[in-house]
Amino acid sequence: MKPKIVAVATSFNDAILAKKYSADIIELRIDLFKNRNLIDIVKLSKKRTKLPIIATIRSKFEGGEFRGNELTRFSLFRQVLPYVDFIDIELSSKIIKNLINIARNKKIIISYHNFKNTPPEKKLEQIISRASGYKPYIIKIATLVNSQSDLLRLFALLNNQSKKYSLAIIPMGSKGQVGRILAPIFGSALNYAFVKNTVSPGQIGLKSYVKYFK
């Protein structure tokens, strides 16, 4: 998969700006939406932008704001499925198997987030091995970078990735920002940027990000 720039949208207005600023894909962070008409926002975002849409309802256990139970989250995913192209689900989620079963015609992103550190090489390999067992379209690894060696371990994953899936690395934190800039060059499938307000540590603004690669 050719590296893409993903605009992280937390509102309908973000989605419209993402189109204006030349994002390749829009991630709708449904867990961060303040408007209660969630399904209408998803439908309208797809209709107005005509860009591929990632549906993300990030659990609080992996840095998101969704605080309902997993059955409620599964139900919400089911409702938005007809209007999106990708589903992002955490490897740690209890609903991962059931969600993949009902989303067979969608592209599945299996994600892992660690806001404390970047695990050792062996641990990262185990995470990717577990995720690949679900046969996803993309595996996404987002970890906090505390040192240069952390960054090198993430880039090593790109160098060693399998042809069976695409891999996205998201270096987080101030020490990971240079990695965010370099990641598309080294083949990271998805590269996330905020539209108006940062959503994760070290994230770069979409307008600036696009200038590097478009």
Distance CA 118, CA 140 (A): 13
Catalytic residue ranges: 113, 140
Is the pTM for the entire model greater than 0.75? Answer: yes
CATH of the domain at 86: 3.20.20.70
**Domain tally, the chain:** 1
- From first to last of its 214 residues, the chain has per-residue pLDDT tens of 789 999 999 999 999 999 999 999 999 999 999 877 889 999 999 999 999 999 999 998 888 999 889 999 999 999 999 999 999 999 999 999 999 999 989 999 999 999 999 999 999 999 999 999 999 999 999 999 999 999 999 999 998 877 788 999 999 999 999 999 999 999 999 999 999 989 999 999 999 898 877 6
Instruction: Locate 75 and state its tokens.
Output: 């139900």
On whether the CB atoms of residues 25 and 51 are closer than 8 A, the answer is yes
On whether the CB atoms of residues 142 and 112 are closer than 8 A, the answer is yes
Q: Which residues span the domain enclosing 207? A: 4-213
Instruction: Locate 102 and state its tokens.
Output: 């009902």
Nearest to 62 by CA among 7, 125, 165, 141: 141
Q: Roughly what angle, to the nearest 10 degrees, separates helices 38-49 and 70-80? A: 30
Instruction: Locate 10 and state its tokens.
Output: 């937390």
